[in-house]
Amino acid sequence: MKRLDFIRLSGYSVTSLFLVGTSTFLNACRKMGMGNMMMGQLVLVTEGSFSEVLTMPDIVGNTSSLTAQKASCKIAGIGNVNGLGYQAQKLLGPTIKINSGETVNINFDNQLDDSTNIHWHGLKIPSNMDGHPDNKIQSGNSFKYNYTVDQRAGLYFYHPHAMGTTAKQVFQGLAGFFIVNDVEEQALNLPSGSKELLCVIQDKRIEGGNIVYSPSMTDQMTGLMGQFVLVNGSYSPVQMVETSKYRIRILNGSNARIYNIALSDSSSFSVIGNDGGLLSSPESVNQVLLAPGERLDLIIDFSNLSLNDEVYLISREFSGGDSQGKQKFRIMKFKADMVVTDKFKLPALLSTIPPLTESMSTKTRFFDISNKDANMSHSRMIHTINSKEYSSSRIDETVKNSTIETWVFDNSKGLEPHPMHLHGATFQILSRTGGRGNLMPWEKGWKDVALCMPGETVKVIVQFGKFNGMYVFHCHNLEHEDSGMMAQYEIQ
């Protein structure tokens, strides 16, 4: 039964259902045998004035320190806001920029009231450095992260991952970019300097000068969404551009919100990379569905703009689930402030991606992520993988190091989108059946998040890392993750 049918049947309007209260509502759902029926509470985005200039995070190298702390900052268009940061007076953290092969030394201090840790999303590093949910750094304590990055150029990122506090701490401001460069990418001479932009897109719920994290039962079902969309911590910013090609690298750092990234003039742009670095060749598209945790490396050509022309990065409407994609909104503005002649030509060949095929795979594993039997237990929401809620005392899968396996995420009967992510591994997406029914052009190459929309079954082929130890995989909707949609696997 679909939501609308239910509303019709019940004779309630959507608003009155919310007035009735979530628990009454959930009881009603259960009586009607609709375990996890999604009651999408739409959190509408409120656009700002697009007048604050976009800023880039500071850049640090392989040896640095990070301090998780309370951060009060001023967000133009919103006011003074209390949140969290890895630096004083600012949300987010600096961008860590290294060359492939380098060893990273980060002195990390936890000055939060809660325990936390850091997960290096997309990096294949030893398990004791990976920010496993059990490796908590208590309030007031510190930890030295020390590991070597032995992988290709790409846009990775870091964020907290301690059991039970991940979603809250990310939402309140803890995250940062982690860029790996290598000689292959260097040789392409992609737009750089002021023509390379990093953009982390995040929606925030801000009330009374605080980034408020107190998800209702409905928020826990759908994932928490906010009314303000920030880019690098700025609300509805503007970026001045020359009439030339820009490299724009985007991270969806939101807890739950999916964006259907496009340009307001509907022009097409080139995807040159995603989660795990460059694609083999550019893909021309005019929209990209980007889920939490996913990254995009784009070349956007502003050469058809005239002086003072404006174009917006927007999120278009899309279908899939009841709580997302129902609204079109603008995220940031580009404004041409200088007319130039652009000499950059995008190479037709960017990289070589050795395709993984099922014949290389030593095992196939199936994961039911439909959450058909999700329910309320002890008055909280639970999400599951294979009907199991996360438990750190259970090892769900055991994998041989450095091997290749086929993993299938089955959301065919699900009603919610689930962006599935693995630690300690990277993968290629082999196929999608149901729903959109296809592998999307921006999903080629190396990935570490695979978006499974309602109705979809997504098959990925995974290259596991070489370090033995305990890792996790989970839905990157952080409310789903925190409410149990995570599992533990051991590489041995």
Name the residues that contact Cu ion, by CB under 5 A: 121, 418, 423, 475, 477, 480
Nearest approach, Cβ of residue 132 and ligand C2O (Å): 9
Q: Is 205 in the site for ligand C2O (CB under 6 A)?
A: no
Q: List b or e across 237-251, with b for residues whose CB sees 16 or more CB atoms inside 10 angstroms.
A: bbbebbbbbbbbbbb
DSSP assigned state of 31: H
Binds ligand C2O (CB under 6 A): choice among 68, 110, 119, 305: 119
Report the C-alpha gap between 382 and 371 in whole angstroms: 9
Q: Residue from 45, 78, 121, 482 that binds ligand C2O (CB under 6 A)? A: 121
- Interface pattern 140-179 for ligand C2O (x via CB under 6 A): -------------------x-x------------------
Segment holding 247, helix H or strand E = strand 245-252
> Residue 300 or residue 450: which is nearer to Cu ion going by CB?
450
How far is the C-alpha of 177 from the C-alpha of 193, rounded, in Å? 16
Contacts with ligand C2O in 472-491 (CB under 6 A)?
474, 476
Cβ-based nearer residue to ligand C2O, 249 or 474: 474
Q: Which residues pair with 103 in a beta bridge?
A: 148
**CB nearer to ligand C2O: pick between 316 and 474:** 474
Alpha carbon separation from 107 to 61, 63, 173, 307, 324 (Å, rounded)? 13, 8, 19, 46, 38
Smallest distance from the beta carbon of 318 to ligand C2O, in angstroms? 22
Per-residue x/- mask for ligand C2O, residues 289 to 328, rule CB under 6 A?
Answer: ----x-----------------------------------
Between 161 and 333, whose beta carbon lies closer to ligand C2O?
161
Q: Identify which of residues 239 and 428 has a Cβ nearer to Cu ion in the complex.
A: 428
Compare residues 39 and 291 and give the one whose CB is closer to ligand C2O: 291
Q: Could you count the other beta carbons within 10 Å of the beta carbon of residue 73?
A: 17
β-bridge partners, 53: 238
Instruction: Report the alpha-carbon angle 377-414-21, nearest 5.
Output: 45
Residues 247-266, one symbol each (x = binds ligand C2O by CB under 6 A, - = not), give: --------------------
400-409 in b/e form (b: 16+ CB < 10 A) is eeeebbbbbb
Amino acid at 262: A
Q: Which residue is at the shortest CB distance from ligand C2O?
A: 121
User: Beta partners for 230?
Assistant: 202, 235
Instruction: Name which of 406, 397, 426, 402 is nearest 362 in CA terms.
Output: 406
Q: Restricting to residues 399-428, which ones interact with ligand C2O according to CB under 6 A?
A: 421, 423
Query: Whole-angstrom Cα distance, residue 233 to residue 228?
Result: 10
* Partner touching 161 among Cu ion, ligand C2O, none, CB below 5 to 8 Å by kind: ligand C2O
Interface with ligand C2O (CB under 6 A), residue total 9
Angle (nearest 5°) at CA 177 between 470 and 297: 105
Q: Which residue, among 242, 250, 227, has the nearest Cα to 327 in the 3D structure?
A: 227
> What residue 418 binds from ligand C2O, Cu ion, none (CB within 5 to 8 A, per partner kind)?
Cu ion
90 or 119, CB closer to ligand C2O? 119
Which H or E element spans position 217?
A: helix 217-222
CB 376 → Cu ion: shortest distance, Å? Answer: 17
Report the interface residues with ligand C2O, using CB under 6 A.
119, 121, 159, 161, 293, 421, 423, 474, 476
